[in-house]
Amino acid sequence: MHRALALLRPFAFPAVLLGLLEGWARTTGAGSDAVAPPSLALRSLLAAAGDGSLLGATGFTLGTAALGLLAGCVGGLLLGTVLGLSRRAAQVSFLSVEVLRPVPSVALIPLAMLVFGFGLRMQVSVVAFATFWPMLVLTQAAVQQVEPRLLEVAQALQLSARQRFVAIVLPSITPRLFVALRLCVAIALVVAVTTEIAANPHGMGYALMIAQQSLDPALMMGWLFWIGVVGFGVNTLTLRLQGWVARRMGAQP
Amino acid sequence: MLVALWWAATHAGWVSRVFLPTPEATFGALSAGLVQGELVAQTGATVGRMLVGWGLASLLGVVIGALIGVSAVARAWIAPTLEFIRPLPASAIMPLAISVFGLSGGMVLFVVAFGAMWPVLLATVHGLASVHVQLREVAQGLEMPRRDFVWKIGLPNALPDILSGMRLSMTVALIVSVVGEMIASQPGLGQAILLAARSFQSSELFAGIVLLGAIGFVSNAALAAAEKKLLRWQHP
């Protein structure tokens, strides 16, 4: 009984809120173009799931977020390693990095539109830009904390640059890398949805926007809820992944 | 070094000038816009929106966060909901805000404040929840009223968390301001760069991007300095 209560507790507060909203939207707020009862929102969402638009839009958003994440993270990882290992490279590029890093990723949306037009490539490029910088900075910090004696060993063994990276650097930065990855996953999803809302006519963000423009508040709230669910799910998954990697790498729980 | 690379890339014709203007053209557009005052006004509008939204967000975040964080019961019941809303992109509630408030400056401000509130709110809740047990016992021993506990022990304890949350929320505020200006056609840099991109005026587009980068850089540096100053008591 007590455990059942503890399990249900997280849902109590949102349930009360949704209940209030439902009541308000069915009585005084009925006929509003802005707010719909949550029950209707759920029905619209299920209808969208039925005709396949839910799956398609979610797939597009997650796919572009993943591609952009991949590009941004690989780039950030490589450059971050170089900057972390070589003091001179870090000094030369310090100013450039510090100047480019705070450029808000959404400022790149018009530029990406100009270069790529609408569609997949534009969104991937914006996501890649947004995830590149945190990955770069965190990788650089992680590489700088690699035990110097390990690097000396690598030198004594006359390992090539690639061997040094694979055998020495990569294993020692992996746990921190996954912390950075978790951060970047969250950023990638937010930026992907934002790009769709602001410009790109594909994916979940656009579906949300078009539902609003066609004065269909039920569908709009359904999408909003779904985006929340997807975001929460992705974040939970990456959190699990990070914990699993940390355990595998021998970190104390 | 970056400017040199940029100069070389455009002058050697590696990248089409339609997409990437030369540095001279960009700084020409930048200075022309600044002298004529057009860019100054737009920058002012964006910065104002960002600062007001951020101020509201910080205030609301600390107040609501303190209300939730001070009671263990409220934390247990409400915190899971907050965790659910947190990964929601701030711009995703923009359509909802548009249908409630219309395409107005107030709408953008609401979304900015709402989106930027979460880092501060969660940091405040976390900061209040992690007050050391001994400090709690001291407060109980002194029979401190709950308000004094929050004011004298809770918030100072949460201050480092709150400040880093505020730094994050400044970034969010800038991003959401720009997106809001793009969607709702409110005057500001977001609208300016969108229009420049649509009319293929890449030098003006780059001038806007440079200014936005400068805003991000300056605000972040200012907050980092403020944080250092306010938290001096931590490292005597």
CA distance B114 to chain A (A): 15
Each residue's pLDDT tens digit, B128-161: 877 777 777 777 777 777 777 777 777 777 888 8
Between chains, do A212 and B95 touch, taking CB under 8 Å as contact?
yes
Positive or negative, the CA dihedral A66, A69, A75, A77 is negative
Between chains, do A13 and B78 touch, taking CB under 8 Å as contact?
yes
Q: Taking the CA of residue B111 as centre, how many other CA atoms within 13 Å lie in the half-sphere pointing to its CB?
A: 31
| pLDDT at site A33 | 64
Between chains, do B84 and A14 touch, taking CB under 8 Å as contact?
yes
| Residue A127 in tokens | 């996501």
| pLDDT at site B211 | 86
| pLDDT at site A71 | 92
- % of chain A at pLDDT higher than 90: 5
| Residue A165 in tokens | 């990276």
Among A17, A92, A106, A126, pick the best mutation site for testing chain B contact (most B Cβ within 10 A): A106
Each residue's pLDDT tens digit, B75-99: 777 777 787 777 788 788 888 888 7
Alpha carbon A81 to chain centroid, angstroms? 22
Whether residue B25 is predicted with pLDDT greater than 80 in this model: the reply is: no
| Residue B168 in tokens | 């994050």
CA distance B150 to chain A (A): 24
Q: At what angle do helices B189-198 and B202-230 cross, to 10 degrees?
A: 160
Between chains, do B92 and A198 touch, taking CB under 8 Å as contact?
no
A18-27, A155-164, A227-236, B200-209: which range is least confident on average? A18-27
The mean per-residue pLDDT over the stretch A63-75 comes to 91
Confidence of residue B111 (pLDDT cuts 50, 70, 90): confident
Could you give the ipTM of this predicted complex?
A: 0.77
| Residue B180 in tokens | 């809001």
CB pairs under 8 A between A and B: 151
| pLDDT at site B13 | 59
Between chains, do A104 and B1 touch, taking CB under 8 Å as contact?
no
CA distance B186 to chain A (A): 13
Confidence of residue B114 (pLDDT cuts 50, 70, 90): confident
Among A21, A24, A194, A214, pick the best mutation site for testing chain B contact (most B Cβ within 10 A): A194
Whether residue A20 is predicted with pLDDT greater than 80 in this model: the reply is: no
Between chains, do B92 and A224 touch, taking CB under 8 Å as contact?
yes
Do A177 and A139 contact (CB within 8 A), yes or no?
yes
Confidence of residue A253 (pLDDT cuts 50, 70, 90): very low
Cα separation, A60 vs B224, whole angstroms:
37
Sort out which chain A residues have CB atoms less than 8 A from B196's CB and list them: 110
Between chains, do B209 and A103 touch, taking CB under 8 Å as contact?
yes
| pLDDT at site B1 | 63
Mean of the per-residue pLDDT values for chain A? 81
Whether residue A31 is predicted with pLDDT greater than 70 in this model: the reply is: no
Cα separation, B177 vs B53, whole angstroms:
8
Each residue's pLDDT tens digit, B168-192: 888 888 888 888 888 887 888 888 8
pTM: 0.82
| pLDDT at site B12 | 61
Between chains, do A228 and B84 touch, taking CB under 8 Å as contact?
yes
| Residue B137 in tokens | 């016992």
Cα separation, B28 vs B39, whole angstroms:
12
